[in-house]
Amino acid sequence: MKRRPNGMIVGVLTLSVLLLVLLVMTARPHTNTPLDPDNPSPHGAQAVARVLEQHGVAVDRAGNLDELRRGNTGDETTVLLTDEFLIPHDERQDFLASARTAGTLVVVDPSESLRESLFDQEADESENVPVYAASAGDGKKIVALNDPTLLTNASVDDGDNARQALTSLGERRRMVWISTWNGATGEQTGLDWPAWKTPLTWAIGLSVLFLVVLRGRRFGLLALEPMPVTVKAVESTRALASLYRRSSARDSAASALRDGTASRVGAGLGLSQGRRSPDLVADALRARGAAAADADGVTASNVPHDLAEWLTGPTPENDKALVELARELDRLEKEILR
């Protein structure tokens, strides 16, 4: 009779699976792209992005012109370009035209040519300070972050970096962050797990493992129990013979045939249990045949000492020889036990 699984165990296992699924679904994707808002590595910018979100700034990503135009809502938007060389040359003008409509345009480490197109002053005038900002009219602003480490996770806590980064990026209510373009970089590489989810995952996994061990097979020696059905000897013999045949184990099959015949013939000759090996039974048959021959002058018909040779000898070379061995051992057994 099968035991039904305990309802509490099923409930705990189900709850554990649901929690693991929830953890995976709520995990945020992260990338290995430099200055990416979802990159938690030292050269990423996840820390700055999270602080901006905590201060009420909605951080969105854009990877092409259509996404930039949808995310850019004008005066309430900051557009951040982490690397100007992400933008293909044939899209530069369209990008700048769209980005300039934002309230603030921030470019990280712009090149000399880009500085000249963004600022009225000479390019070298904005290179001596970490952050250079200039008015673009109508309340708009253009900012050059000359030091990219202001945004990195590894350096954001150094000196005045955090204040300068948040001042440059947190002025507007909405932000469009551009660290990839047309899928050229920033392929997803894993999951960003909050710190509290790691110990929780371990706790759930260990709990499931404990329940499996607790309710599973006990460690130690196997306990023998009576089978609820009876297996006929002929079925076991046929199954074993089939295994021997498939594996070409003629040596094992021949040994099994000789051992069985020796055991039964030895019992018929009155030999003790310990002296019923094929070699000893063959010796007993030869000795009995020799004694009968000395008494009658001929070998007694009921002592087939010539058949004793089948109890020993080499392993059959093929299936035909194995069948012949089985036939001769059967004849030997019938001669002795008749």
**Helix (H), strand (E) at residue 191:** strand 188-192
Per-residue model confidence (pLDDT) at position 248: 77
**Looking at 162, 180, 198, which one is the last position of a domain?**
180
Domain residue limits at 328: 234-337
pLDDT tens readout for residues 9-39: 666 666 666 666 666 555 555 667 888 888 8
Q: What is the pLDDT of residue 27?
A: 55
Report, as an integer, the average pLDDT of 93-121.
88
Q: Is 70 exceeded by the pLDDT of residue 290?
A: no
What is d(CA 162, CA 39) in angstroms, rounded to the nearest whole number?
17
What integer pLDDT is reported at residue 187 of this predicted model? 39
**DSSP symbol at 187:** -
Cα distance between residue 149 and residue 156, in whole Å: 7
At residue 126 the predicted structure's pLDDT band, cuts being 50, 70 and 90, is low
Residue 247 pLDDT class (50, 70, 90 cuts):
confident
211 part of a folded domain: no
For the chain, the domain total comes to 2
Asked, for residue 192, whether it belongs to a domain, the answer is: no
Residue 231 has a pLDDT of: 66
pLDDT at 216: 61
Is 161 among the domain residues? yes
DSSP string, 88-132: -GGGHHHHHHHHTTSSEEEEES--HHHHHHH-SS-GGGGSSSSEE
Same-domain status, 49 and 173? yes
Separation CA 233–CA 1 (nearest Å): 25
Q: Which residue has the higher pLDDT, 44 or 2?
A: 44
Q: Is residue 259 part of a domain?
A: yes
DSSP string over 5-46: PPHHHHHHHHHHHHHHHHHHHHPEEEE--TT-TT--STTS-H
Are residue 154 and residue 262 in the same domain, yes or no? no
pLDDT band at 190 (very low <50, low <70, confident <90, very high): very low
Q: pLDDT for 221-242, tens place per residue?
A: 666 777 677 767 777 777 777 7
Are the C-beta atoms of residues 79 and 102 closer than 8 Å to each other?
Answer: yes
150, 165, 180: which is the final residue of a domain? 180
Q: What is the chain's mean pLDDT, rounded? A: 77
pLDDT above 90 for 106: yes
What is the pTM for the complete model shown? 0.48
